DNA sequence: CATGAATGAGTTTTCATTCAT
DNA sequence: TATGAATGAAAACTCATTCAT
């Protein structure tokens, strides 16, 4: 049998693509570069992905699915709401930092010609674990009375912003900073 | 067709560019489309801008300068810190909403190959009025002890996030929502 | 005003395409060659034709329409059937010889991936003038009783075959040869 | 899968190639498709044929040799010229119909870049049995005085044309039609 | 200046051929 | 041998930029 079509190669291509998007943005993304970065010949990419559009869309799905699963791991129903929220938020923060390539890709994707109505909706799924936990918080009356979307923004927005600052070089994120930040956020959203 | 004055044409091109970037991002930005959107011939754009890169960078400068001036208007030294902050933040919020095309452009610009070291620094200027006010707050001990960049993130991050949600269709921003949001943020950053 | 989009350029591209198809066949037809042959840049061809497939299909239509009109010119209702048939046949013969590039193209097109159901039908239109004249002949009982398609084959087939022989180099077609050939064909189809 | 004997595989590849050429012509002929159609892997084709050109040229030779032998079988020197011609012509007709894939291939081959000077000449060999019989006819003064190539065209041309019509769907060829056609042709070429 | 057709370098995509298994 | 994934040269196509009008 010949060399076997390889799932690992798909991963390779995904990583190469994300890396390039993070470094130079969507605009400069060339299929030849993706292939080179993945250590493959140009044509090989086309064995695994019909065309550039398909590659980008599949990568989007891949990241979305993987991300949601990963950052929301190990939520414990028994924990107090505050503890659960703190844990989820920190996981999200750490995940966003560690996976800045993915995050960069997701962000770029939002304003790209590749974004379709379908993927627009799917995007919301990413925040699903958060929204569910917020629902619980509101039931337990531990959360301020306000639209969940607003509360979500208060929690998620600073994360994005801080990571951007760190990328800029204008902020150094440490565990202590993360902890303090959560405490401040908690002050605003708790009831 | 009547001759249109040059400055108007530049403005026309800027608007067209921002609109297109907002809709489909930098990726799909074609000079021919910019021209068409502006109601001009392709070649005409090149009379006012040497090339695509120049157009984008000049537009960036244009937006940055215009933005800073506009949203930070009328800060009154006599007002209390809380009042000043509230005012500045709301101005920023409203400005960001009204000028979502500009905002989209700035956001895209960050991860684009057009971003040079120079404009990277200049970008921070946009937040200058905020940073100055935060300094005052810390001197007056009205602000939590934490890096200004973090506090800035707590204030700015939710704004970006909420506008994104509204664009998504998952949130409807009203004056009331804006007011409540500020109160929550204030809870977290006040001392 | 800028240079005007030019019908003559379309003609240029058509001629270049036909010439290349005649010389090297459909298989070797490259857009870059078409452009070069037409004295244009590669991109220019794409201003006039969306893609290769479109070029080929439009050329097909162009040839078909032009051909039908041209070879069937000047049929005189007053002439005797024999005279009319002789005239039409000779015109067809001469036309096929003079327009061997077109003929070559048409022939190649038949077994190409470009042939659609639609163009399959349209192809028959080419023979329309002949079929009409044959109908008249059958009404006047000057034509053998047989399906018109068969009679058409008896008349058209030898033309194609002789031109192919001449292209091969195994036959030299002269006016005398053409005349004699018609007489023989007439012997077989007359009643 | 059981090992298939080599010669069978070559035959398999030939059949696959002819089938594809008949359907979509040389233009769309891809080695991978040939392999798939033959039920083989792409690489396998290259075990039997050095490259695409070789495959096509060998297939051409294969068809030519097979064809000549087959359709001209059983010519009886004792038969009258008319009877012999009738027999040969009908054999040719039937052969052409039954082997339309082969015929399509030969036709396409003529205008392909694969046709070399050498195979150009060889092509004429296909008509050799016919040309010989026509020589006999002229010696016996049973044939009209005209270049043999013209007479050949009168006989062969309609065959090609009728088969094309049948492929089109505009003619249904029956044994009766074939018989009548020969009679008409005979009217024109007999002396 | 304004126009938009023309240009051709740069990308995407295809496919004959190779080669690890 | 047989396989079919991998390769990369070549072809199709795009689009920033130029230039004749």
What domain count does chain D have? Answer: 1
Chains B and D, touching by 3 or more CB pairs within 8 angstroms:
no
Which pLDDT band holds residue B1 (cuts at 50, 70, 90)? very low
Query: Per-residue pLDDT for D128 more than 90?
Result: no
Residue C78 confidence (pLDDT): 75
Q: Average pLDDT in the B149-171 region? A: 92
Q: What is the sign, positive or negative, of the torsion defined by CA atoms of C69, C73, C79, C81?
A: negative
Cα C82-C88-C89 angle, rounded to 5 deg: 85
* Across all strands, nucleotide nearest D44 (CA–C1'): F2
Q: For chain C, which ranges sit under pLDDT 70?
A: 1-5, 70, 72, 74, 117-124
- Whether residue A177 lies inside any domain: the answer is yes
> Which ranges of A25-80 does DSSP label H, i.e. alpha helix?
31-37, 42-48, 52-71
What letter does residue B3 receive in the DSSP assignment?
Answer: P
Range of the domain at B165: 78-189
Residue B186 distance to chain A (closest CA, Å) = 8
Chain A interface, mutation test: which of B153, B172, B181, most A Cβ atoms within 10 Å? B153
pLDDT at D112: 82
Distance CA C191, CA C186 (A): 9
Residue A124: predicted pLDDT: 67
Residue with more model confidence, A94 or C121: A94
Task: Report yes or no on B70 lying in a domain.
Answer: no
For residue D127, give the nearest of D55, D56, D64, D171 by alpha carbon: D64
- For chain A, what is the radius of gyration of the CA atoms? 19
CB A73 within 8 A of CB A94: no
The residue that minimises its CA distance to C1' of F14 is C43
What is the residue whose two structure tokens read 């030849």? A32
**Which residues share a beta bridge with B190?**
B143
- Is D81 among the domain residues? yes
Nearest CA in chain A to B186: A188
Provide the angle, in degrees to the nearest 10, between the axes of the packed helices B81-98 and B52-71.
150
What does the radius of gyration of chain D's CA atoms come to, in whole angstroms? 19
Establish if B107 belongs to a structural domain.
yes
Rounded CA–C1' distance between A166 and E2, in angstroms: 47
- How far, in Å, CA of C24 to CA of C30, rounded? 10
Per the document, the length of chain D is 191
Across residues A25-41, what is the average pLDDT?
A: 94
Domain with residue A165: its CATH number is 1.10.357.10
Q: Which residue has the least CA–C1' distance to nucleotide F4?
A: A2
B22/chain A closest Cα distance in angstroms: 7
Instruction: Return mean pLDDT, chain A.
Output: 88
The proportion of chain B whose per-residue pLDDT surpasses 90, expressed as a percent, equals 57
**Residue B181, in any domain of the structure:** yes
**pLDDT-derived band at A1, boundaries 50, 70, 90:** very low
Percent of chain B with pLDDT over 70: 90
Contact by Cβ (8 Å): C155, C130: yes
Helix, strand or coil, per DSSP, at residue B50: coil
pLDDT at residue number A102: 86
Residue with tokens 């008409």: D184
Neighbours of chain B (3+ CB pairs under 8 A): A
Is residue A109 within 8 A of residue B108, CB to CB? The reply is: no
| Strand F closer than 7 A to residue D175 Cβ | no
Tell whether D20 is covered by a domain. Answer: no
Q: Report the residue of chain B nearest A187, measured CA to CA.
A: B188
**How many C-beta atoms surround the C-beta of residue C39 within 10 A?**
10
The two tokens of residue C112 are: 């190409």
- Is D121 near chain C, with CB under 8 Å? no
Structure tokens, C81 = 């059937």
Phi, psi of A143, deg, nearest 5: -115, 145
In a domain, B119, yes or no: yes
The total of other beta-carbon atoms located within 10 Å of residue C187's CB is 16
pLDDT tens-digit readout, C91-147: 999 988 988 888 888 888 888 888 876 666 666 677 888 899 999 999 999 999 999
- The string of pLDDT tens digits covering residues D72-92 is 676 777 789 999 999 999 998
Return the C-alpha torsion angle C97, C99, C101, C103, nearest 10. -80
Q: Is the CB of B46 under 7 A from strand E?
A: yes
Mean pLDDT calculated for residue range A134-157: 94
- Determine, yes or no, domain membership for B95: yes
């Amino acid at each position: 049998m010949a060399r076997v079509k390889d799932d690992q190669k798909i991963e390779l291509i995904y990583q190469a693509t994300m890396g390039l998007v993070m470094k130079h943005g969507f605009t400069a993304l060339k299929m030849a570069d993706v292939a080179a970065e993945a250590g493959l010949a140009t044509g090989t990419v086309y064995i695994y992905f019909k065309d550039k559009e398909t590659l980008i869309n599949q990568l989007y799905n891949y990241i979305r699915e993987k991300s949601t699963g990963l950052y929301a791991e190990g939520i414990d129903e028994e924990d107090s709401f505050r503890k659960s929220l703190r844990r989820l938020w920190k996981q999200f923060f750490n995940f966003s930092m560690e996976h800045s390539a993915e995050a960069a890709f997701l962000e770029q994707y939002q304003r790209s010609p590749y974004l379709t109505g379908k993927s627009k909706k799917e995007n919301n799924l990413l925040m699903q674990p958060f929204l569910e936990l917020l629902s619980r918080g509101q039931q337990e009356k531990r959360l301020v009375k306000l639209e969940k979307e607003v509360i979500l923004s208060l929690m998620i927005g600073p994360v994005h912003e801080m990571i951007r600052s760190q990328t800029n070089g204008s902020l150094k994120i440490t565990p202590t900073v993360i902890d303090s930040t959560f405490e401040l956020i908690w002050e605003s959203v708790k009831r």
